[in-house]
A and B are shown apart, each in its own frame.
Chain A
C-alpha cells in the first residue's frame, strides 16, 4: 500500500519487480529475517546472481557462498558495494530492499558509481517508521513512528514532515511550535 501525500519529495515505492534481460543482478537487504530464498522464489530461483544480507553481529565474516554474502553491518556492506561497483560493467541491475535509511544509502553509492535511476530499484520493507533529520542541528533520529518527536541532538520538539531528502535518506523535522511558541499540534501516528 502506498500512502498518498501532497509532498512530491516523499518517495513512492512500487511493488517488488525485476527487469528482464540484464547481464548481472545484485540484491542487497538489511533485513536478515527476510529469507533471500523467498525473494528468489518470487520469480525464478536464479533471479539474482548475488544476494547480500546485513546479518549484524561481530562474528559475521563477509564470505560468499553460492551467491549469498553476509555482512556484520550496513557500513561494511556499503563500503564493499562501492569497491565492487567501481569494477562492474554496463548491464548490471542493483536492487535494495529494507529500511528506508538503508535503501537510500545504497542509492547514493549506486549514483556515485554511475548508475542511473533506471538501473537501480528500491523497495521499502518493514515497519512504517522514519528517520528524521532535525532542520536545526542536522542530527538524525531513527525509528520514528509519531508526528511529534524529541530530537536526539538538540532536544527540540520536532514536527515530522513528509519532505524527504534522498541525500540523507531522512524526513525533515522542524521545531513544532515555531510559529506560536508553546502551542503544539496534536500527536498522531505516522502513515
Chain B
C-alpha cells in the first residue's frame, strides 16, 4: 500500500461528528450496563519511575476486584513497565485479567531497533500477554514511512502470541491527515490495536482523533475483512466521557466491537469514576473519591 495516498481528513466534519456522540441520552439500565462495560474495558495503568512491586500488586488486586461491595466485572488488563511484568503476572494468575507491558523505549521510542526488539522479547518472556509499543515519531515526521512500517512488523514478530498495541502518540503527529496515515501504517504492519497516546504528553486522547482512528479500523475491515482493536489512552477520566466513547464505538464500528477484546480505555483515574457512578446508581447518592482506593 502506498502510504503517501492515505485519505485526507475533513477536520471540521470530524469534530462535528464527534460532538454528535455526546448528545445521546443514556439512562438507567442502559447506563448501568454501559458503565460496567466501560469498567471491563480498562487497562489499569501505572507507568511511573517510582513504581514498586507492592504498588503493582495492589493495582492488580484492584484490577481483579475493582470494588468489594459492588457486583462489577474485573478490568481488562494491568499495564506496567517490563521490569514489573512478572510481579503482575503472578498477582493476576487465574483471574483472566491480562498483563500488558509497554516496550520499545517507551515513551519516546528513541532507541536502536535491536534494543526495541530485545525489550519486547524480554517483556513477552516475563509473561506479558500484550505489548504496548510506541512508533518512531521522529522517523515518521521525516517521511520514513517504510522504516516505521518495518519496525512495527518486526516488533509484531517479536511479540509471538502476545497482542500488539501500537501507540501513535497523536499529540506529536500534528495534523489529522498524519494521524490517519500513521493509523494505516500500524494496521497494515500487523498491529492488533492502534492506541492514541502514551499519556506522557499533555495532548492525549480526544474524541475527534479517536473517531478518526476508529474510521481507519473500519476502512481496514472493509478492505481486508480483519477486525482490529482500538485503545484511546490518557485524559479520559470520567464516566460520562467513557460512555460517549462507547456510543462512538458502537455507531462507528458496530456491536461486534463492544467488548474488551476490541476496545480498551488506557486510564487509571477512570476506574474510580465509573465505580463512583455505579455506586451512585445503587445507593441513589453522589459519591466521594475519599471512599475509593487511589490505586
Verify that A and B bind, or say they do not.
no
- A residues engaging B (CB < 8 A)? none
